[in-house]
């Protein structure tokens, strides 16, 4: 977004918050440099036999993926606090409204600037994470279903960024206190992320593989995400894995439990994008509702 092509409130918004935009760009650049350094170090490092040769890459990438989940919270808090609530709290928004700017254009300029910056950063972090995890793709303990890779490699993270921006625009006007608005926006956005994160693997039905008792549990496909495993009774009911003590050589299942088979529930990798699509759609609907509420509050207070 070039400042030379911006006019009116959009130019003012970008210029007013240019330090934050430059800091965000610096964070993206620093992340890329760090991942390149980690990839180079992992490629040249040698590990003793029997150890994980990519440990020095796997652990930072895991933490980096989780850190990227903070972006929607930070984007929402920044919109709610410094961009909206602080101007309402100090009264400086009145100056903008005297410069041939309507209330709608005043708020829209902030929403657009924050949304473009946050979504672009989320997309950049996603590409950086994709580049960094290439050597780890075949590792069983670095799965696509983990919260970090799941969000950063798909459309969910940009959608949550839009939600954070929309919630921030609404809460900033309702609370009108900088710190309080930032806290409430972070709490609301984080709560939505936590709830949908807990529900996402119930959007699609799992697949199941079974095997007879007395042998190891069946193995789903190598790239699958296992959600549950246990035993099936003669009546078709299910019992958890810990219902039957197991040893390395045989099963010690009580006869009264009437166990007949054992099962493993899993999501195949083919469920990744459908799950992403469902969650992204839900988040975008919530973001649209929050944005509608933000402009509704604005129209009521500044008709």
Number of continuous H segments (helices) and E segments (strands) in the chain: 11, 4
Long-range CB contact pairs, 33-36, < 8 A, 24+: 34/60, 34/64, 35/61, 35/64, 35/128, 35/129, 35/131, 35/132
The secondary element (H helix, E strand) that includes residue 262 is strand 259-267
Q: What are the E-state strand segments in 34-125?
A: none
Q: Looking at residue 100, what is its pLDDT?
A: 65
> What is the distance between the alpha carbons of residues 196 and 278, in angstroms, rounded to a whole number?
10
Long-range CB contact pairs, 283-287, < 8 A, 24+: 283/156, 283/159, 283/160, 283/162, 283/163, 283/192, 283/196, 284/159, 284/162, 284/163, 286/163, 286/166, 286/192, 287/159, 287/162, 287/163, 287/165, 287/166, 287/167
> What is the distance between the alpha carbons of residues 283 and 203, in angstroms, rounded to a whole number?
14
> What is the distance between the alpha carbons of residues 93 and 84, in angstroms, rounded to a whole number?
9
Bin 91: left if φ > 0, else alpha if -120 < ψ < 50, else beta.
Answer: left
Report pTM. Answer: 0.89
Q: Write the CA distances from 84 to 13, 17, 61, 106, 284, integer angstroms.
A: 11, 12, 34, 10, 21
Yes or no: say if 96 and 132 are a contact pair by the CB < 8 Å rule: no
Q: Looking at residue 250, what is its pLDDT?
A: 42
> What is the distance between the alpha carbons of residues 63 and 55, in angstroms, rounded to a whole number?
12
Q: Looking at residue 40, what is its pLDDT?
A: 85
The secondary element (H helix, E strand) that includes residue 260 is strand 259-267
Q: Coil, strand, or helix at residue 170?
A: helix
User: pLDDT digit of tens for each residue in the chain (303 aa)?
Assistant: 444 577 777 888 888 899 999 999 999 999 999 999 888 887 766 555 445 557 777 788 888 889 999 999 999 999 999 999 999 888 887 776 776 678 898 899 999 999 999 999 999 999 999 898 887 766 656 778 889 889 999 999 999 999 999 999 999 999 999 999 999 999 999 999 999 999 999 999 999 999 888 777 888 888 899 999 988 888 888 988 887 765 443 456 777 778 888 899 999 999 999 999 999 999 999 999 999 999 999 999 876
């Amino acid at each position: 977004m070039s400042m030379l092509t911006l006019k009116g409130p959009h130019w003012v918004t970008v210029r007013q918050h240019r330090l934050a935009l430059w800091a965000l760009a610096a964070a993206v650049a620093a992340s890329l440099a760090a991942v390149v350094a980690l990839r180079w170090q992992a490629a040249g490092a040698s590990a003793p036999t029997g150890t994980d040769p990519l440990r020095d890459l796997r652990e930072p990438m895991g933490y980096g993926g989780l850190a990227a989940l903070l972006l929607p919270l930070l984007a929402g808090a920044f919109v709610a606090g410094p961009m909206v609530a602080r101007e309402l709290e100090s009264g400086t928004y009145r100056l903008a409204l005297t410069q041939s700017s309507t209330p709608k254009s005043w708020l829209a300029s902030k929403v657009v600037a924050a949304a473009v910056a946050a979504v672009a950063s989320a997309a950049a972090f996603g590409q950086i994470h994709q580049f960094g995890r290439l050597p780890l793709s075949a590792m069983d303990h670095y799965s696509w279903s983990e919260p970090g890779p799941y969000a950063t490699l798909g459309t969910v993270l940009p959608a949550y960024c839009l939600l954070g921006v929309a919630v921030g625009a609404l809460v900033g006007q309702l609370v009108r206190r900088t710190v309080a608005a930032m806290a409430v926006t972070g709490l609301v956005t984080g709560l939505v992320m936590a709830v949908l994160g807990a529900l996402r693997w119930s959007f699609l039905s799992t697949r199941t593989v079974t095997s007879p008792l007395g042998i190891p549990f069946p193995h789903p496909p190598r790239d699958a995400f296992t959600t549950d495993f246990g035993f099936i009774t003669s009546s078709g009911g299910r019992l958890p894995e810990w219902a039957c003590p197991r040893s390395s050589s045989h099963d010690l299942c009580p006869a009264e439990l009437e166990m007949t088979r054992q099962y493993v529930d899993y999501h195949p990798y083919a469920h990744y994008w459908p799950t992403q699509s469902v969650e992204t759609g839900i988040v975008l609907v919530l973001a649209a509702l929050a944005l509608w509420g933000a402009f509704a509050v604005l129209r009521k207070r500044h008709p």
